Structure 1
Amino acid sequence: MTITAAATERQLLDDMDRIDRNRRAVRRWLGFVLLTLFVLVLVGGATRLTGSGLSITEWKPIHGVIPPLNDVEWQEEFELYKRIPQFSQLNSDMTVESFKSIFWWEWAHRLLARSVGLVFALPLVFLWATGRIERRLRWPLVGVLALGGLQGFIGWWMVSSGLAERVSVSQYRLATHLVIAFLIFASCVWIMRGLSPHGDDPAPTRNSKAMAAVIAGVALFQIYLGALVAGLHAGWSYNTWPLIDGAIVPGGLWVHQPWWLNLFDNPKTVQFVHRLGAYVLLALVMVHMIVSLRAAPETTHARRSVLLFGLVCLQALIGIVTLVWQVPLSWGVAHQGGALVVFGFAVAHWRGFFGEYPKEARIQVAG
């Protein structure tokens, strides 16, 4: 080996080591972002289940960080809440002290949302400025940050729907807000997974990657349906399983005209379709697992399909318990968190078929 070749090899190894270190730093940052997003989704679920989402009736992105600090400020905040229909129609006997219990949930949710923005933006600037973020990932990460900013506006758009004529937020806006949150989470998972080491196992079948994509898509659609159920408070109705209103296929599914409105406005129809979505997702994951195990049982792809099937089964069990027990706070939050875990793992499983991002070392070869 010539001196030039040896120097080039050493530089190559140094570049690979630097890329690995940088990728570990970015993965750790994104992992912390994912943890913060997970907590945010759990608190958001608790905020919804406790009916706290309309307790703060003004959008103050900066000043809103500071909660009421004395009795006068608490009374002022309570007076604002007393102006909306939720108070007059549902909570007219509420006192300032009981108002505080719902205020703190919404305040914590908004504070966490602001914190996620900082947890994402500040390290992004630092890692970019110090050259730790690869060129191919810079604008995708900026896109995720922009999506997070849009989510703030969507959150207020959702809240505003319950301040004038309704006693709760619009189920359409709630579903939009939740789906965007899950897409932000999925984007971070996708990038983080691409920066992680991959094995060289081939896909079990030529359709495995496509099937993984379908599963992730169906999981997201199921989350959208779950948000409609939450927005219509349909989880507190028809609390039996496997029957719904005494039948496998109940009556009264198409009472609204035109018929398609039932898919969004009829609590029974929305809950029924959400149940069907769960069965479809479970069947898809089971078929994917069986095919993968038969074709290539020793591959990491097949082992991931088994874990995904287990997660979906656990989530189905949590969903059934949540329904039958009429949505206790702890189980309702667990069901929402479980949805995030299933969807995040489904996205990571799909991303695993693409392999690790190529490592682009910049080697200067002498003459």
Structure 2
Amino acid sequence: MSAHTIPQSAARRDGASSLSSRNRQRISTWLFVICFMLIGMIALGGYTRLTGSGLSIMDWRPVTGIIPPLSHAEWERQFALYQTIPQYKILHDGFGLAGFQQIFWAEWTHRFWGRLIGLVLLLPLIWFAVTGALTRGLIARLLLFFVLGGLQGAVGWFMVASGFDQNSTAVEPVRLVLHLCCAFALYIAILWTALSVRTPVAPFIPATVAVVRTRRLVWGATFLIGLTIIAGGFTAGTHAGFAYNSFPLMEGHLVPQGYAKLSPFWLNWFANIPAVQFDHRLLATVTALVIGATVLSGLRTPQLGKPAQDILMLLGWAVLIQYALGVTTLLLVVPAWAGTVHQTWGAVLLTVAIVALHRLRGVGRV
């Protein structure tokens, strides 16, 4: 039986199905704009990390911090604060006020963009709620997203504060990965909500063996993408990308020497540069192979329907681009532009995987 012959009542529904068609379009467009802004936030975060800008603002003022220094005296005060931490003394000693202003504006833009996302979420939310365009469940969910966004700002400061330690020139890798994971988790939640508002009724897909296998492969690929992103966070946090700048071998070895030099063994996955970079390479390769298998499985399964097959093809192209970006970034020894694009495209790849899962949510049970 074709998916197109299944009555609408047999399709799986999401909570937004009670909204009018006009309201679904308006609300989903608003949420997609927020998703686009969040990808921009992820890109800005990568740029501030790669340029060493993240520690340039030494105080956390969630409200008044939106106002940048407006006088020369305030610029001097901010610069004097920055001069007290090891990053300035070791990496930027003597670069002057003009150099400080350059990295300051990068970090200020990152924080300003986060505040702007909060406003773009809160103000339309109030309007839609007052005008009755939202269900109670959707209001509660979106308010939770707003609160989590504010907590993400606090997690960001928790990360930044670790770089002020007198024995450090950068933030702690674990806190960096925590900040990154929270950002992606919030992004996935808002993206899934936007997709469900736009298409609350999931077209029924018969649960044949091939269909179920393909959906499981998509779940596996999505999990691997997330795991690879986390490994990339540790690669960034430990600056592992600046070592072993050859591919596919690492100083002539498939598995680098010193992979297991730390004890206990699990510490190597988070703090040992050879192991951290190798794990990121390995996970990226396995992810690409699993996505390749997913695409082949999907193309051989006409019951999925063209929309689902199209998104799987897009997933295949997206992972090829991301893999090429990763190798390029490594071989060029992580220039800021390449590292930023690589991190940003990782978010794009994850987006395509989430859309694929959303399109397959109508698969019936065997």
Same fold (TM over 0.5): yes
Shift of 1:300: 2.1
> Given the alignment of the two structures, is residue 282 of structure 1 paired with residue 288 of structure 2, yes or no?
yes
TM-aligned CA distance change 1:284 to 1:54, over 3 Å? same
TM-aligned CA distance change 1:202 to 1:328, over 3 Å? farther
**In the alignment, which residue of structure 2 is the partner of 1:265?**
271
Instruction: Provide the rounded CA distance (Å) in 1 between the counterparts of 2:326 and 2:31.
Output: 29
Q: How does 1:185-334 map to 2 (within 5 A)?
A: 185-197=187-199, 199-202=203-206, 205-296=211-302, 298-334=305-341
Instruction: Provide the rounded CA distance (Å) in 1 between the counterparts of 2:78 and 2:290.
Output: 49
Q: How does 1:86-235 map to 2 (within 5 A)?
A: 86-165=87-166, 166-197=168-199, 199-202=203-206, 205-235=211-241
Give per-residue Cα distances to partners, 1:95-149, cap 9 Å, x unaligned. 1111111111001101001111111111112112212123342322222222211
The answer on whether the counterparts of 1:193 and 1:352 sit within 8 Å (CA) in structure 2 is no
Instruction: Provide the rounded CA distance (Å) in 2 between the counterparts of 1:208 and 1:134.
Output: 34
Shift of 1:277: 0.6
The answer on whether the counterparts of 1:185 and 1:344 sit within 8 Å (CA) in structure 2 is no
Instruction: Provide the rounded CA distance (Å) in 2 between the counterparts of 1:213 and 1:151.
Output: 26
Instruction: Provide the rounded CA distance (Å) in 1 between the counterparts of 2:92 and 2:242.
Output: 19
Give the TM-score normalised by structure 2.
0.89
SS for the counterpart of 2:88 is helix
Give the TM-score normalised by structure 1.
0.89
Instruction: Provide the rounded CA distance (Å) in 1 between the counterparts of 2:357 and 2:281.
Output: 24
Shift of 1:201: 4.6
Shift of 1:353: 1.6
Instruction: Provide the rounded CA distance (Å) in 2 between the counterparts of 1:202 and 1:285.
Output: 22
Instruction: Provide the rounded CA distance (Å) in 2 between the counterparts of 1:210 and 1:132.
Output: 36
Instruction: Provide the rounded CA distance (Å) in 2 between the counterparts of 1:169 and 1:50.
Output: 13
The answer on whether the counterparts of 2:318 and 2:349 sit within 8 Å (CA) in structure 1 is yes
* Number of aligned residues: 341
**In the alignment, which residue of structure 2 is the partner of 1:365?**
none
The answer on whether the counterparts of 1:201 and 1:299 sit within 8 Å (CA) in structure 2 is no
**In the alignment, which residue of structure 2 is the partner of 1:29?**
30
Instruction: Provide the rounded CA distance (Å) in 2 between the counterparts of 1:39 and 1:330.
Output: 14
Moved over 6 A (4+): none
Larger radius of gyration: 1
TM-aligned CA distance change 1:155 to 1:135, over 3 Å? same
SS for the counterpart of 2:23 is helix
Instruction: Provide the rounded CA distance (Å) in 1 between the counterparts of 2:142 and 2:361.
Output: 19
Instruction: Provide the rounded CA distance (Å) in 1 between the counterparts of 2:131 and 2:221.
Output: 38
User: Please, which runs of 5 or more residues in structure 1 have no aligned partner?
Assistant: 1-15, 357-367
Shift of 1:240: 0.7
Instruction: Provide the rounded CA distance (Å) in 2 between the counterparts of 1:332 and 1:237.
Output: 14
The answer on whether the counterparts of 2:24 and 2:197 sit within 8 Å (CA) in structure 1 is yes
CA RMSD, Structure 1 to Structure 2 (Å): 1.8
User: Which range moved further: 220-229 or 294-303?
Assistant: 294-303
SS for the counterpart of 2:20 is helix
Q: How does 1:325-344 map to 2 (within 5 A)?
A: 325-344=332-351
The answer on whether the counterparts of 1:212 and 1:349 sit within 8 Å (CA) in structure 2 is yes
**In the alignment, which residue of structure 1 is the partner of 2:71?**
70
The answer on whether the counterparts of 1:241 and 1:320 sit within 8 Å (CA) in structure 2 is yes
**Equivalent position amino acid for 2:314 in 1:** L
Give per-residue Cα distances to partners, 1:168-227, cap 9 Å, x unaligned. 000000001111111111111101111223555546512333332222222111111101
**Equivalent position amino acid for 2:143 in 1:** V
Instruction: Provide the rounded CA distance (Å) in 1 between the counterparts of 2:76 and 2:19.
Output: 57
The answer on whether the counterparts of 1:190 and 1:347 sit within 8 Å (CA) in structure 2 is yes
Instruction: Provide the rounded CA distance (Å) in 1 between the counterparts of 2:198 and 2:65.
Output: 38
**Equivalent position amino acid for 2:105 in 1:** W
